[in-house]
């Protein structure tokens, strides 16, 4: 870590972007990036799939009712490189800040759950694709591979990250530690609010515990960043009546 200063200021964005609206989401994200830069942060981290949103319906809807939402997600996902990615890079350059952005990445006919790393010069320098989507998430995202475990040397620290239940993958966490990770971005959605399951409230406990365990085991500083579910998202999901309704609300 940079020894010229004993303190590195970072920012964590706990927010929901306009749901499945990439253009509006990028505009909001760029505003957050510039705000973080104005306030002296050297790095800003965003939640899992902040752009254009997390596919909450995989936990609540039947495939029949989820199909239109999936089509919107695909149409509004980010290509790397692409117009939305360039706008994020420009915001990083304007702010003079490192950005770790959670997004749905579209590559050919496949979507990936991705963390994109932008430098203060505006370059997309790396991307981490979620190695193994969790449970029903496999109906939406493809898998990453071994290339997606890395740290980025920012000059002030070696930065890495994992997404959600990747924090249960001990070998992935161990790999980051052996690479000398010093700052870790632990990115999560706000999944618990979509469940009718009475055990769903445990999700926040799991996420905090896993993030804290990584901090202890790897001896790194962890930026814990979790999304939120807005009223817009609740309204967009909806719960239709009838025999084909989602199994949970």
Q: CA 151, CA 181: separation in Å to the nearest integer?
A: 6
Among residues 30, 48, 72, 137, the one annotated as catalytic is 48
> Which member of 30, 130, 166, 181 is catalytic?
130
The tens digit of pLDDT for each residue in 94-128 reads 999 999 999 999 999 999 999 999 999 999 999 99
Chain segment 188-233, per-residue pLDDT in tens: 998 654 445 555 567 677 788 888 888 899 999 999 999 988 889 8
Is 48 annotated as catalytic?
yes
Catalytic residue among 30, 164, 166, 181: 164
For the 10-237 domain, the top CATH level (class) is alpha beta
* Residues in the chain, overall count: 249
Whether the bond between 209 and the residue before it is cis, its omega within 30 degrees of 0, is: no
Q: Which tens digits make up the pLDDT trace of 132-178?
A: 999 989 999 999 998 999 999 999 999 999 999 999 999 999 999 99
Q: Minimal CA–CA distance to 186: which of 217, 165, 157?
A: 165
Q: What is the b/e burial string over 86-97, where b = at least 16 CB atoms within 10 angstroms of the residue's CB? A: ebbbebbbebeb
Condensed to tens digits (0 to 9), the pLDDT of residues 7-45 reads 899 999 999 999 999 999 999 999 999 999 999 999 999
């Amino acid at each position: 870590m940079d020894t010229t200063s004993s303190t590195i200021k970072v920012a964590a964005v706990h927010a929901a972007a306009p749901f499945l609206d990439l253009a509006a989401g990028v505009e909001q994200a760029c505003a957050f990036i510039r705000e973080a830069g104005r306030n002296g942060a050297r790095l800003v981290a965003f939640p899992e799939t902040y752009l254009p949103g997390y596919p909450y319906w995989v936990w609540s809807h039947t495939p029949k009712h989820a199909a239109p939402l999936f089509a919107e997600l695909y149409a509004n996902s980010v290509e790397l490189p692409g117009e939305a990615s360039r706008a994020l890079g420009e915001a990083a350059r304007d702010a003079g800040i490192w950005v770790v952005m959670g997004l749905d990445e579209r590559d050919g006919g496949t979507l990936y759950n991705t963390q994109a790393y932008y430098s203060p010069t505006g370059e997309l320098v790396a991307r981490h694709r979620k190695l193994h989507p969790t449970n029903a998430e496999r109906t939406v995202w493809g898998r990453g591979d071994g290339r997606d475990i890395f740290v980025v040397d920012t000059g002030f620290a070696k930065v890495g990250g994992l997404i959600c239940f990747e924090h249960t993958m001990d070998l992935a966490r161990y790999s980051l530690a052996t690479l000398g990770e010093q700052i870790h971005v632990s990115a999560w959605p706000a999944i618990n609010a979509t469940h009718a399951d009475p055990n769903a409230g445990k999700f926040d406990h799991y996420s905090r515990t896993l993030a804290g365990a990584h901090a202890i085991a790897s001896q790194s500083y962890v930026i814990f960043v979790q999304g939120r579910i807005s009223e817009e998202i609740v309204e967009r999901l909806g719960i239709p009546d009838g025999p084909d309704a989602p199994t949970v609300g």
